[in-house]
Structure 1
Amino acid sequence: MDIYDEIFKMCSEHGITFYSTLPCSHNLKFIQKLEELDGEILENADKALIHIPLVREESGVSLSAGAYLGGRKTAMVIQNQGLGNMITQLLSLNSHLNGSYRIPNLLIISHRGLENEKINAQKPVGSKSKEILDLVGFKHCSVKYISDLKKFQELLGEYDKGQNVALLVEPDHSKPLYRIENEKNIIRNFKGNTIPMNKVQANMTRHKAISEIINQIENEFVVSNLGHPSRELHRLKDRERNFYLTSCLGHSYTLALGLALSTEDINQKIICFEGDGGLLMNAGSLSILAHKKPKNLIVILLDNGVWGSTGNTETYALNEVNLSGVAQA
């Protein structure tokens, strides 16, 4: 049995049903299994497994946070090279530091850059991965063989208690790497659109837009982005079903996506406010939103062309980038 088969079995026994992943050569079979089981209800589970392939690691942190708020236990399956990308989100959403949301997270990490690593570029982050996990307050252990997984069982117990934990899996370089064979003659489908240049006089303020929308809200959950939108939403209609993401710029829509996917079976409606600057910062994860298309999520882009909360300096959306075109694409 492959070590990742046993890891998946242990995760399933602890009720983990929401996975977000980025591949490493050494965790590929695990990710392929998650792809095959996506949407399936496994033995002893009450909800279908959800698998989200990521485009950047930090989006997985906010997706997992949203899924946890929706009642899911989550795990991220990544390579350690992505840990540096995740530090802000891990500190802001997961850690137990003052000001953090303290949302539990589980990381399953392919630990590259150790002894016998053939790629020298893996070694700088490989040598500091445990220190990064210590920095963000994650309890962690390292394993290489199935016989080592008793340590992971203990970590899962800590995760069940609300702690942040990470399993570092040392690759077995004695085994040949698994590869997915590329299909020949693949036909790729590309959507195209032509958007003419239009000049638009923007008369509605951000405050007015939020006010108009919030007056229509009844039982929907609302996720708002950091800065003025969260402050204005709080003043206009503070309620238990509002989630104010006051950190992690550009991640309100990915957190809302995780929440929406985790509550789609009960048709819980989610409204999300995101800003143009934040969307530009995390535009790559729009591909996940376009792929999953949850019917219970509405993302509202507050596109005023400026960084409103930090002095109204211009964003590229003011005159250069048509975010409506990005959304259509």
Structure 2
Amino acid sequence: MSGPETDQLTPRLTPREAGVRAHAVLDEIERAVVGKRAALELVMLGVLAGGHVLIEDLPGLGKTLLARSFATVLGLDFRRIQFTPDLLPSDVTGAPFYDQRTGEMVFRPGPVFTHLLLADEINRTPPKTQAALLEAMAEGQVSVDGTTRRLPEPFVVIATDNPIEYEGTYTLPEAQLDRFLLRVRMGYLPVADEAAMLRRRLDRTTPEAVLTPLGTPAELVAMRDALERVEVDSDLVDYVVALIDGTRGNPQIQVGASPRGGLALVQLARARAVMAGRDYVVPEDVKAVAIPGLAHRVTLKPELWVRRITADDVVAGVVQRVPTPRTTPRTATQTPAQPSSGASGVPAAGKPADAPVGA
């Protein structure tokens, strides 16, 4: 979906412009997904950073609606795979079949050939089928019968995982969890927001809100390209490495985060800076994405399960112990926007610039 023609039609975006578009997308999605702005922002960070998102939560909390809403508003092709124990790898990637009219073998693409794929209950399918999807996630391509086929660009996987049902499930191993850029939990709605959701349903007299597409695949690629113009100072690079190293030397952690975790933190922090209308990363950006970006990449020691200590708790402790670098604020002439205080918003949307996104 990209190339010389696409580059000519899609303007080059500044980080501020990309952030304004991202907030417009979130505002539109909130017409359908009520009361989950923090979760929506985290998913948007993952989409902007060019990664895949794992949503781990209970049934009925709007995970499917969230994925479908992102596809609609971003103008992306959307497919859904309901993972079951009898699902085969060819059901995901596609397979060749015999065309009786031509007498030739013709490849029939699977649902993975799309822009945004919802992998629903990914832990309900056997490891062989999981691996077929994870290969596509890591390589952006599918190899069948010795032929490699590129997936569309952009390609985003939003996978869901039910954390409470273990019968008939195949838990994703840590090496495969590492392929997801971040993990998101939605949680129950507060009482006021749940009442507002029910009132909206009664007022519109239709099952779901009709959302307006605000972009195209090429525009999403341009928004991602804007991240490459977000500066990361050397002291922040050292800070990211210190956080990663802190997970490896922690007595509560059996296996620490891989180097892929450091790359994820950098890209997520850049995406958060874009959401704040900045072209540079601050320490608060790294802190805000540390738990969703690292907690699923570490393996805790078995005895912590009995004590009900989660990976989120341990990573939060690592963030608290690692010294935060002191950066020199830039002048107004060096930055495209000067938010007041809070990091998830842009001035045009009236958002503060240093409050943790989804924290």
TM-score, normalised relative to structure 1: 0.29
TM-score, normalised relative to structure 2: 0.27
